[in-house]
Structure 1
């Protein structure tokens, strides 16, 4: 679709680091040594130790600097300084996983980090699973996870690693199919699509179309494509989609059949729905008329062909009789 879920306008060809080397986030961030239980700070390089050796004649050999690798807490066995909650999750691992993708200037995962995060999860930023993950994280804005959203989200889905998050996708997708859960996801999607920085109160038409198609990925209503065609073909009359219109459309898909026969303008539907039903019924009427004309033309062609065939057979029979009679 034209706009991905994470609203990444200029996806990079490489989802690795800015320098072009595809580094894993866990290798580019290390915990600063010396402070037990202290905050996590980034250092430009891993801690190093110096090793020297003394020759038999008493002189010192060349001083050699040995880099001691730091194993990130994102993988491996729990460290002694890790705290596990009641679900066996490592809060330290969650924090370090967040640091792998956070922005250098802001304490949040932004566009570039989100691209790398999705790439490492082996998901497309524009697919339904990412929307569901954002829903579980209760993300307030597209293409952004704050530290609180990320940490609380991982705790909510009970995952403290990339592998853990990936393993939760099937359960999350199944959960989203529940009636009440889907209603919550559906309403979340509207808020998720708004540009909070600009104080938007309605969705842009193109964004709304993309999000409608996305949120109904697992169970698409029969009328959805016609509704989206209506929105796409009437750009001048539809500037934005209000929250009320968005929410009521879910009720519309559940209450009104695909033939629209039980739709009533007297009920409290948004006026845009009245316009849509009128547009769709008129479209179907024209479609039926065109089909009728096409059938009539096919019928006339068939009659003409039959008449020509009959005349040809009569002519052949006449010629045959004359030939046999001549003999």
Structure 2
């Protein structure tokens, strides 16, 4: 999920990269169990195109699963208080569920994103994972998927797609974004390895992702600082991650109101010193370039002023 940066160990990769190229939406899922083998095709069908311009995939499935995917009515589907069919949610989960584990894993997640017509690396997928309260990248447990669908009031692919605008709007709220921001740190950790801090490259990728809708002015300079100092910055702690949001809200773009006396992480002190020095060098370089463009005969302020004053003097004496 997201860019699958934790599981794939590659912040620029997409879901499923470990298993090589996929066959897109035409690949079928095969599940083996104690009974006869079931075959599930990708669960997507939409009229026309979604907002991102991606065409939906063809569907070869028969009811009741196809009705579960697209929200079509089907008999004997018990509805909850919000009118959601738990059977449709269950069938949607089984369409992408791993054949060995009771969860949607990397390959199923890739197919899920394809059928939703979303890029696994885009912000909408992170927001969906937040709404589902997913504990791990590239994975939805049965409970996370079921509770998530209930939370966004959707029991089909079509319902999930139509919920994206509302989810994005929710993510813009101050308190909701703070919750999403803190969720992103935990989401990026590798639970299997017991990680307590984010790898630097993963943190950079997640910072860019989580600030998609509202990027602070200082963000790119901060990420440049992290990228240019790999030896001294190996990981990002939870405290540093959380405090950076406060930093973007409290400190102005010119960094003039930053004080080392306040309780900022020491990494921020280093960053501010680095950034101010970078700006100083940039200004000096710009001044040298400006001087290089000006020659005595072309744009010397003194020469221009003398010539103008001399011209005025001639006109004055000539008038007498």
TM beyond 0.5: yes
Instruction: Specify whether residues 134 and 279 from structure 1 end up closer, same or farther in structure 2 by C-alpha distance, changes over 3 A only.
Output: same
Residues 1:10 and 2:44 are matched in the alignment = no
1:183-218 deviation line (CA, Å, top 9, x unaligned): 000000000000000000000000000000000000
Instruction: Specify whether residues 29 and 291 from structure 1 end up closer, same or farther in structure 2 by C-alpha distance, changes over 3 A only.
Output: same
| Matching residue within 152, 157, 168 for 2:152 | 157
Q: Do the aligned partners of 1:186 and 1:215 also contact (CA within 8 Å) in 2?
A: yes
Q: Which residue of 2 aligns with 1:65?
A: none
1:244-323 correspondence to structure 2 within 5 Å: 244-299=239-294, 301=295, 303-305=296-298
1:54-87 deviation line (CA, Å, top 9, x unaligned): xxxxxxxxxxxxxxx6542414643332110011
Higher RCO (C-alpha 8 Å, min separation 6): 2
Q: Which residue of 1 aligns with 2:37?
A: 44
Moved over 6 A (4+): none
| TM-score scaled by length of structure 1 | 0.77
Q: Which residue of 2 aligns with 1:100?
A: 95
Structure having the larger proportion of residues in helix: 2
Shift of residue 292 of structure 1? 1.1
Q: Do the aligned partners of 2:130 and 2:180 also contact (CA within 8 Å) in 1?
A: yes
Distance in 2 (CA, whole Å) between partners of 1:136 and 1:195 is: 19
Distance in 2 (CA, whole Å) between partners of 1:139 and 1:5 is: 20
Instruction: Specify whether residues 296 and 136 from structure 1 end up closer, same or farther in structure 2 by C-alpha distance, changes over 3 A only.
Output: same
Q: Which residue of 1 aligns with 2:83?
A: 88
Distance in 2 (CA, whole Å) between partners of 1:93 and 1:256 is: 48
Instruction: Specify whether residues 172 and 15 from structure 1 end up closer, same or farther in structure 2 by C-alpha distance, changes over 3 A only.
Output: farther
Distance in 2 (CA, whole Å) between partners of 1:42 and 1:191 is: 38
Q: Which residue of 1 aligns with 2:127?
A: 132
Shift of residue 293 of structure 1? 1.2
Distance in 2 (CA, whole Å) between partners of 1:4 and 1:88 is: 39
| TM-score scaled by length of structure 2 | 0.78
Distance in 2 (CA, whole Å) between partners of 1:294 and 1:109 is: 57
Q: Which runs of 5+ in 1 are unaligned?
A: 31-39, 47-68, 311-327
CA RMSD of aligned residues (A): 2.5
Shift of residue 296 of structure 1? 1.5
Q: Which residue of 2 aligns with 1:193?
A: 188
Distance in 2 (CA, whole Å) between partners of 1:286 and 1:103 is: 54
Q: Do the aligned partners of 1:256 and 1:263 also contact (CA within 8 Å) in 2?
A: yes
Q: Which runs of 5+ in 2 are unaligned?
A: 4-9, 40-61, 304-320
Q: Which residue of 2 aligns with 1:202?
A: 197
Q: Do the aligned partners of 1:29 and 1:42 also contact (CA within 8 Å) in 2?
A: no
Larger radius of gyration: 1
Q: Which residue of 1 aligns with 2:309?
A: none
Q: Do the aligned partners of 1:16 and 1:22 also contact (CA within 8 Å) in 2?
A: yes
| Matching residue within 137, 140, 147 for 1:142 | 137
Q: Which residue of 1 aligns with 2:43?
A: none
